[in-house]
Amino acid sequence: MATKLNIKDKYRLLTRDLDWDFDYQDRKEAFPQEDFEGIKITDWSKWEDPFRLTMDAYWKYQAEKEKKLYAIFDAFSQNNGHVNVTDARYVNAIKLFLTGVSPLEYQAHQGFAAVGRQFSGVGARVACQMQSLDELRHVQTQVHAMSHYNKFFDGFHEFPHMHDRVWYLSVPKSFFDDARSAGPFEFMIAIGFSFEYVLTNLLFVPFMSGAAYNGDMATVTFGFSAQSDEARHMTLGLEVIKFLLEQHEDNLPIVQKWINKWLWRGYRVLALVAMMMDYMLPNKVMSWKEAWEVYFEDAAGSLFKDLARYGIVMPDYVETIAKEKEHLSHQAWWIFYNFTHASAFHTWIPSAKELDWLSEKYPSTFDQYYRPRFELAAEMEKAGERFYCSGLPQLCQVCQIPMGFTEMDNPTLISYRDSVYKDDRYHFCSDGCKTIFDDEPEKYVHSWLPVQQIFQGNCGGADVETVLKDYYRINMGADNMEYAGSPDDLRWKAWKGVA
């Protein structure tokens, strides 16, 4: 009978020992993506495994979590958990999650699998492969949690199809496409560090606490089930950055540039979270502004102090973001209020109580700049002309968000930036997006911008309605348009027995 391995030996055999020497092939050819970004690795053996986990322990641990998770999903479903949420308006937040965020888990799964092949250091390879499996599990559990809602609410039914095509979903999709089409080290700084370490709390905490505050136990539970995985992902993100900075001093300017870029890219995607927090949750957790202060300014502030010993400085545009925290969520929600007819979730004018909450949370901006927008919208709605913006908006070439963000020193004026590259003009919402373009124009000239694609005739129809119905597969009059009077609203009222 074979002797049982002790834990230390088992760990060595199942991680570092998975590597082998290349005696008749050039190692460089086996890992062809490792050099072109300019990152210098002198000694992969200095890589410290961010978590000590072997595959067999991983399976066992994850299986336990799955068992508990699916028991709760079953109970949620059998007890008609969906009728216990605060209000059917809440469900729009998780429509946004399923169409906008869950497919990113899948993209992360693919991305980590790809870079997990490309590093010649075995420690990094194993860690990336494990994260890849986690991400696949996350997308699966999220889809399973949401499938219950899909039976009772509109807007969930075509989430992967929509993710690839719908205009606002091109914002998170292109963010990940950008990271995945970069080299393996940039991917790790983009996703492993900037997204999973620096910004993750601004994505998951708002959605999960939003769910908890609004009676959505299914979402809370998959959030909890992912938490220990996320903790591992954060340690990987931190290990990557420390490793790169310790390996060679020439890595510093490259890493700093990526941090600058990916903080801005990630922050722009978080505009969707900001509006979710301030506008879509009937029971609000905290404002976007407060979340940014707690999870970025306080938490990341100390992180960057810690990284200062390597020469890393606070990313560019953090001051701009600090100014924008007074405006971001309002401007983002307004874009969706304008184009609700083209969206697979509903929007609405905040109630009087909610407007007062916004005034209280944003005392220096809301009443002056944003409350009047809703007053005009309410007047139009009262006159039977609920405002749906005609035509299609101008998009930013980099973040792909409609150019609805304003100058911070002149908040009623759109912020316009542009660059001319090889005789063509490109437009950006911000200095952050312009800088990213100017650094790699050949990458962003082929951004797939949804508005431009519609006008070029590549989205299956000449008129917007055909595009929405056939190309996006929006169930017209059910998935889209104003919340009040929508089928979701009417069903909810019928279940609750209110007129």
**By the rule CB under 8 A, 494 interacts with other proteins:** no
Structure token digits, residue 2: 């074979």
Structure token digits, residue 421: 């590259």
Q: Which stretch binds other proteins (CB under 8 A): 61-69, 350-358, 422-430, 474-482?
A: 422-430
| Residue number, 86 or 120, with CB nearest to other proteins | 120
Distance CA 377, CA 55 (A): 56
**By the rule CB under 8 A, 250 interacts with other proteins:** no
| Residue number, 140 or 453, with CB nearest to other proteins | 453
Choose which of 16, 117, 443, 491 interacts with other proteins (CB under 8 A).
443
**By the rule CB under 8 A, 394 interacts with other proteins:** yes
**By the rule CB under 8 A, 32 interacts with other proteins:** yes
Distance CA 218, CA 296 (A): 27
Residue 439 CA: distances (Å) to CA of 90, 229, 249: 40, 34, 21
Task: Compute how many other C-beta atoms are within 10 angstroms of the C-beta atom of residue 12.
Answer: 13
Minimum Å gap between C-beta 102 and other proteins is: 26
**Per-residue binding letters, 295-334, with other proteins (x by CB under 8 A):** ------------------------------------x--x
**By the rule CB under 8 A, 247 interacts with other proteins:** no
> Cβ neighbours of residue 81 under 8 Å, at least 6 residues apart?
75, 148, 216, 217, 218
Choose which of 201, 247, 452, 475 interacts with other proteins (CB under 8 A).
452
Q: Which stretch binds other proteins (CB under 8 A): 100-108, 124-132, 141-149, 400-408?
A: 400-408
**By the rule CB under 8 A, 495 interacts with other proteins:** no
Coil, strand or helix at 421: strand
**By the rule CB under 8 A, 424 interacts with other proteins:** yes
| Residue number, 74 or 385, with CB nearest to other proteins | 385
Distance CA 249, CA 41 (A): 10
**Which residue carries 């505009």 as its tokens?**
271
Distance CA 247, CA 41 (A): 6
- C-alpha 348: how far from chain center: 23
Q: Is there a contact between 99 and 115 (Cβ–Cβ < 8 Å)?
A: no
Q: Which stretch binds other proteins (CB under 8 A): 10-18, 347-355, 407-415, 489-497?
A: 407-415
Amino acid identity, position 66: E
Q: Is there a contact between 419 and 434 (Cβ–Cβ < 8 Å)?
A: yes
**Residues in touch with other proteins (CB under 8 A):** 32-33, 36-38, 182-183, 186, 331, 334-335, 337-339, 368-369, 372-373, 375-376, 385, 387, 389-395, 402-404, 406, 411-414, 416, 418, 421-422, 424-427, 440-449, 451-453, 455-457
